[in-house]
């Protein structure tokens, strides 16, 4: 087995499909692990590139099945894979036909997206999974957004808790890849047990879930009916749809999504009401597809949604995510927040609006005649609007209430690997210098083509070397503080420099 040749072959094919963009080394690691038949678990932030390894077994001649939690997500991923020139299909109750079954058995598709329910409860597809004619081409089973095995499998979609049984349908040696942005060590234990993954022999990659291009904030609202708290995000003057920044607002109650939609429409001109839409599980599949497609295109600028929208979808231009009311966990919050700024070159914001009553200090009073201390009804956890009690997990409470850095709370909870490296060295430093040399040539051609300024004058070698080596630089202010003598063009081109280095890192 020639590892270098295999990786180079994968990289060359993908470069052709991605307009010259090369896969990251860690993505090739995951793809090669599947090629070698290793079960794998990958933890990486939303938008980090977890999806690309899914198709690496395909470019080597195999077929992959992707277990995807939502029909709307399946359709989005089909379109994404088709852009790579692959034959992809979503297999669910709405798309299943005898004609499709025959195409599947003949191996006409490279990527098959489906759900656990189709695998276990649909007689036709279940029979196909056990067919030797179908499975002889199968290279891997991928469980996307695998955290739902725990969050949904224990509650209302029991088929997720049975996914390990898929191994009995397919040939021995077909690997399973499980991916997520938010897995704690105990989540990994639970999920690998369900999927029958032996971590002693599996490939495990934990890249952390830090999203440095997202600015996180926590604010308090009066109650889960305090919808006017959202008005601060819609204070500008809007004349056309493009004036409204693309925003996703998450609310856990279906009815509330419709109420908020009407409330936000009242804050914008009537001709822009069509730019505000809602999405939840009670809408039919056609309505959900139309709404999500319109949001993807930018026809809808604001989407008010429950968890049913956005999971894993590739919408690169969401500039803000708002979570209205406490989510059920820190993982859920980070999953939703991570749908902002999926383009690593963009800067995005994620704001958690938490009910203030959940964080009031508990009052205690003595019960008459006993001296026993009891908590008053207004203590933490009782919503002030009289709605059903809502609970806040210890880790989410720590994240919200910390006086320090919330990223530190996040790192401890998920046991993220160290992320602050002071200095780039060796190959990393060489790569940083190379991308900056290319960037200064691009800047010269783009903005100073007819100027006497050379590329070296715009970004001198002495400055370039310091920018390349100092991995801790995150803002223009950092550049101005750390680079001496000063770089004259820091204010004009600093953001672009930081962006290409962030992408490289």
Per-residue pLDDT reduced to its tens digit, 361-400: 544 444 444 343 333 222 233 333 434 446 778 899 999 9
Q: Which of 44, 95, 48, 40 is nearest to 64 (CA)?
A: 40
CA–CA separation, 446 and 59 (whole Å): 36
CA–CA separation, 209 and 189 (whole Å): 18
Which pair of tokens denotes residue 179? 């991916």
Could you count the other beta carbons within 10 Å of the beta carbon of residue 243? 14
Bridge-based pairing state of the strands 247-250 and 203-206: unpaired
Domains 3-206 and 214-361+388-418 share a fold: yes
Task: Indicate whether 419 pLDDT > 90.
Answer: no
Q: Which of 163, 192, 169 is nearest to 69 (CA)?
A: 163
Beta carbons of 326 and 302 less than 8 angstroms apart: no
SS3 for 304? strand
Helices (H), 340-425: 394-401, 406-414
Q: Which of 310, 302, 316, 322 is nearest to 245 (CA)?
A: 302
Q: Which of 169, 182, 143, 183 is nearest to 54 (CA)?
A: 143
Task: Indicate whether 150 pLDDT > 90.
Answer: no
Q: How confident is the model at residue 445 (pLDDT cuts 50, 70, 90)?
A: very high
Residue pLDDT, tens place only, 209-246 = 888 888 899 999 998 899 999 999 999 999 999 999 99
What integer best gives the mean pLDDT of the chain?
87
Q: What is the pLDDT of residue 360?
A: 64
Classify domain 214-361+388-418 by CATH number. 3.40.50.300
Residues in the chain: 505
Task: Return the DSSP state at 486.
Answer: P
**Fold exhibited by the domain 3-206:** Rossmann fold (3.40.50)
CA–CA separation, 290 and 274 (whole Å): 13
Q: What is the pLDDT of residue 310?
A: 58
pTM of the entire structure? 0.75
Identify the H or E element spanning 364: strand 364-366
User: How far is CA 245 from each of CA 26, 235, 263, 490, rounded to the nearest angstrom?
Assistant: 33, 12, 17, 27
Q: Could you tell me if residue 117 is left (phi over 0), alpha (psi between -120 and 50 degrees) or otherwise beta?
A: alpha
Residue pLDDT, tens place only, 165-192 = 999 999 899 999 999 999 999 999 999 9
Could you count the other beta carbons within 10 Å of the beta carbon of residue 188? 20
**Fold exhibited by the domain 422-504:** DNA polymerase; domain 1 (1.10.150)
Please give the radius of gyration of the chain, using alpha carbons only, rounded to the nearest integer: 25
The full set of domain ranges for the chain reads: 3-206, 214-361+388-418, 422-504
Residue pLDDT, tens place only, 49-82 = 899 999 999 999 999 999 988 777 788 889 889 9
Cα 284 vs. chain centroid, distance in angstroms?
24
CA–CA separation, 272 and 390 (whole Å): 35
Residue pLDDT, tens place only, 283-339 = 888 888 899 889 999 999 999 998 766 565 678 899 999 999 999 889 999 999 999
Alpha-carbon dihedral 415, 420, 424, 426, rounded to 10 degrees: -20
Strand partners, 352: 218, 323
């Amino acid at each position: 087995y020639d590892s270098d040749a295999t990786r180079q072959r994968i990289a060359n094919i993908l470069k052709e499909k991605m307009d010259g963009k090369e896969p990251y080394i860690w993505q090739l690691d995951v793809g090669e692990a599947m090629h070698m038949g290793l079960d794998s678990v990958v933890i990486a932030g939303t938008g980090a590139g977890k999806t690309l390894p899914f198709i690496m077994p395909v470019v080597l001649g195999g077929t992959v099945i992707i277990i995807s939690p939502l029909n709307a997500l399946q359709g989005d991923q089909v379109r994404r894979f088709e852009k790579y020139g692959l034959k992809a299909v979503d297999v669910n109750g709405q798309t299943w036909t005898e004609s499709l079954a025959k195409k599947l058995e003949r191996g006409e598709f490279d990527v098959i997206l489906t759900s656990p329910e189709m695998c276990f409860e649909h007689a036709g597809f279940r029979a196909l999974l056990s067919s030797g004619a179908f499975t002889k081409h199968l290279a891997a089973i991928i469980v996307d957004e695998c955290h739902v095995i725990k969050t949904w499998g224990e509650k209302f979609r029991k088929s997720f808790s049975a996914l390990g049984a898929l191994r009995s349908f397919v040939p021995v040696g077909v690997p399973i890849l499980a991916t997520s942005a938010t897995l704690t060590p105990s989540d990994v234990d639970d999920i690998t047990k369900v999927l029958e993954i032996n971590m002693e022999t599996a490939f495990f990659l934990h890249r952390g879930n830090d999203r440095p291009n997202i600015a996180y904030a926590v604010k308090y609202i009066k109650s889960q009916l305090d919808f006017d708290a959202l008005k601060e995000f819609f204070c500008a003057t809007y004349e056309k749809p493009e004036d409204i920044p693309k925003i996703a607002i998450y609310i856990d109650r279906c009815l509330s999504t419709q109420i908020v939609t009407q409330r936000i429409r009242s804050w914008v001109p009537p001709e822009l009401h069509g730019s505000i839409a809602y999405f939840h599980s009670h809408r039919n599949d056609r309505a959900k597809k139309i709404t999500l497609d319109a949001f993807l295109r930018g026809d809808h600028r604001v989407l008010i949604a429950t968890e049913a929208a956005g999971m894993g979808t590739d919408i690169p231009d969401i500039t803000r995510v708002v979570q209205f009311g406490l989510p059920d966990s820190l993982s859920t919050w980070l999953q939703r927040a991570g749908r902002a700024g999926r383009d690593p070159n963009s800067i995005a914001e994620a704001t958690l609006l938490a009910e203030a009553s959940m964080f009031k200090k508990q009052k205690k009073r003595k019960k008459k005649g006993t001296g026993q201390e009891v908590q008053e009804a207004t203590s933490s956890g009782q919503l002030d609007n009289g709605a059903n009690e809502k609970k806040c997990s210890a880790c989410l409470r720590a994240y919200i209430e910390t006086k320090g850095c919330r990223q530190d709370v996040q790192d401890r909870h998920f046991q993220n690997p160290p992320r602050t490296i002071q200095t780039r060295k060796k190959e990393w430093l060489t790569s940083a210098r190379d991308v900056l040399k290319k960037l200064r040539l691009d800047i010269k051609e783009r903005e100073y083509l007819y100027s006497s300024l050379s590329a070296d004058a715009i970004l001198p070698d002495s400055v370039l070397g310091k920018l390349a080596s100092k991995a801790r630089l995150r803002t223009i202010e950092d550049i101005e503080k750390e680079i001496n003598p000063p770089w004259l063009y820091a204010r004009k081109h600093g953001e672009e420099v930081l962006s290409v280095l962030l992408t490289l890192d």
